[in-house]
Structure 1
Amino acid sequence: MSREAKEEGNRLFQDKDYESAILKYQKAIKLLPKFHIDVSYLRSNIAECYIQMGITEYPKAIIECSLSLQISHKHNKALLKRARCYEALENYDLAEVDVCQVLQMEPRNVMALELYERVKKGKCRNADGSTRNVKLVYGEEIRWAQISTTNCNILKLREIISEKFPKSKAIHVKYKDQEGDLVTITTNQELNWAETGGEGDQASIKLYIVEVNPDQDPLYYQLTKTECKKHENCAVKEPTSIDDWIIQFAQIFKNYVGLNSDTYLDIHKLGMKLYSEAMEESVADEEAQSLFNTAAEKFQEMAALALFNWGNVHMSRAKKRLYITEDASKETVVLKVSAAYELARSEYLQAGDRYEESLKIKPDFYEAVLALGQQQFEQAKLSWYYAVGNNANLETWPSSEALELYNNAEGNMEKGMQMWETYEESKPSKVKLGMQKMGLDRIFKDLSEDETLEQSSNMRSQINLLWGTMLYERSIMEFKLELPVWQECLEVAVEKFELAGASETDIHLIMKNHCSNESAVEGMSFNIDEIVQAWNEMYEAKRWESGVRSFRLEPVLRRRVSKLCHDLEYV
Structure 2
Amino acid sequence: MLKLHIVEVSEEQEPPLLDEVEEVEEEKPVEIEAIQEDNGGSNSNSENDQKTEKEDDTNEKPASSEDPELKEVEMDDWLFEFAQLFRTHVGIDPDAHIDLHELGMEMCSEALEETVTSEEAQVLFDKAASKFQEVAALAFFNWGNVHMCAARKRIPIDDSGDKEMVATRLQAAYDWVKEKYTLAKEKYEEALSIKPDFYEGLLALGQQQFEMAKLYWSFVVAKKDDLSKWDPTETINLFDSAEEKMKSATEMWEKLEEQRAKEAKDPNVSKKEELLKKKSKTSTEVSGEEAAEQAAVMRSQIHLFWGNMLFERSQVECKLGLTGWKKNLDTAVERFKLAGASEVDISTVLKNHCSNAETVENMEKKVEDPSPAAISKGDDGDQS
SS of match in other structure, 1:489: helix
Counterpart position of 1:506? 345
The change in CA–CA distance for 1:307 and 1:446 in structure 2 (over 3 A counts) is: closer
Counterpart position of 1:440? 276
The change in CA–CA distance for 1:383 and 1:327 in structure 2 (over 3 A counts) is: closer
Asked whether 1:417 is paired with 2:250, we answer yes
Counterpart position of 1:318? 151
Q: Distance in 1 between matches of 2:356 and 2:157?
A: 32
Q: CA deviation at 1:429?
A: 3.0
Asked whether 1:483 is paired with 2:318, we answer no
The change in CA–CA distance for 1:257 and 1:377 in structure 2 (over 3 A counts) is: farther
Q: CA deviation at 1:329?
A: 4.3
Q: Deviations over 1:261-308 (max 9, x none)?
A: 5xx9xxxxx998886665444323343222222222222222222222
Asked whether 1:297 is paired with 2:133, we answer no
Say whether the 8 Å CA contact 1:471–1:489 is kept in structure 2: yes
Instruction: Decide which of 215, 220, 223 is 1:390's aligned counterpart.
Output: 223
Instruction: Decide which of 345, 350, 369 is 2:178's aligned counterpart.
Output: 345
Say whether the 8 Å CA contact 1:311–1:354 is kept in structure 2: yes
Asked whether 1:259 is paired with 2:259, we answer no
State the identity as a percent: 48
Say whether the 8 Å CA contact 2:157–2:170 is kept in structure 1: no
The change in CA–CA distance for 1:445 and 1:335 in structure 2 (over 3 A counts) is: closer
Correspondence list, 1:6-45, <5 A: none
Instruction: Decide which of 488, 492, 495 is 2:334's aligned counterpart.
Output: 495
- Richer in strand (by share): 1
Counterpart position of 1:334? 167
Q: TM-score, normalised by structure 2?
A: 0.61
Q: CA deviation at 1:384?
A: 0.5
The change in CA–CA distance for 1:275 and 1:346 in structure 2 (over 3 A counts) is: farther
SS of match in other structure, 1:395: helix
Say whether the 8 Å CA contact 2:157–2:173 is kept in structure 1: no
Q: Deviations over 1:59-107 (max 9, x none)?
A: xxxxxxxxxxxxxxxxxxxxxxxxxxxxxxxxxxxxxxxxxxxxxxxxx
Q: Distance in 1 between matches of 2:119 and 2:347?
A: 62
Correspondence list, 1:79-478, <5 A: 256=96, 258-261=98-101, 279-325=112-158, 327-430=160-263, 436-437=271-272, 439-441=275-277, 443=283, 447-449=287-289, 451-478=290-317
Q: Distance in 2 between matches of 1:463 and 1:446?
A: 21
Say whether the 8 Å CA contact 1:513–1:521 is kept in structure 2: no
Q: CA deviation at 1:520?
A: 7.5
Say whether the 8 Å CA contact 1:435–1:441 is kept in structure 2: no
Q: Distance in 2 between matches of 1:405 and 1:334?
A: 25
Q: Distance in 1 between matches of 2:357 and 2:349?
A: 14
SS of match in other structure, 1:398: coil
Question: Which residue identity is paired with 2:287?
Answer: L
Say whether the 8 Å CA contact 1:307–1:358 is kept in structure 2: yes
Q: CA deviation at 1:424?
A: 1.5
SS of match in other structure, 2:227: coil
The structure having more radius of gyration, on CA atoms, is: 2
Question: Which residue identity is paired with 1:421?
Answer: E
SS of match in other structure, 1:440: helix
Q: CA deviation at 1:491?
A: 0.8
Say whether the 8 Å CA contact 1:294–1:434 is kept in structure 2: no
Q: Distance in 2 between matches of 1:331 and 1:404?
A: 31
Say whether the 8 Å CA contact 2:159–2:166 is kept in structure 1: no
Question: Which residue identity is paired with 2:336?
Answer: F
The change in CA–CA distance for 1:277 and 1:477 in structure 2 (over 3 A counts) is: same
The change in CA–CA distance for 1:287 and 1:468 in structure 2 (over 3 A counts) is: closer
Question: Which residue identity is paired with 2:276?
Answer: L
Q: CA deviation at 1:499?
A: 0.9
The change in CA–CA distance for 1:445 and 1:388 in structure 2 (over 3 A counts) is: closer
Gaps of 5+ in 2: 1-74, 87-93, 362-384
Q: CA deviation at 1:383?
A: 0.8
RMSD over equivalenced CA pairs, Å: 3.3
The change in CA–CA distance for 1:445 and 1:476 in structure 2 (over 3 A counts) is: closer
Q: Distance in 1 between matches of 2:207 and 2:271?
A: 35
Question: Which residue identity is paired with 2:272?
Answer: K
Gaps of 5+ in 1: 1-243, 265-269, 523-571
Question: Which residue identity is paired with 1:514?
Answer: H
Say whether the 8 Å CA contact 2:315–2:354 is kept in structure 1: yes
Q: Distance in 2 between matches of 1:328 and 1:521?
A: 33
The change in CA–CA distance for 1:257 and 1:301 in structure 2 (over 3 A counts) is: farther
SS of match in other structure, 2:123: helix
Counterpart position of 1:172? none
Q: CA deviation at 1:368?
A: 1.6
Counterpart position of 1:12? none
- Richer in helix (by share): 2
Q: Distance in 1 between matches of 2:184 and 2:270?
A: 32
Q: CA deviation at 1:363?
A: 2.1
SS of match in other structure, 1:309: helix
The change in CA–CA distance for 1:440 and 1:393 in structure 2 (over 3 A counts) is: farther
**Larger relative contact order (Cα-Cα within 8 Å, sequence gap ≥ 6):** 2
The change in CA–CA distance for 1:495 and 1:332 in structure 2 (over 3 A counts) is: same
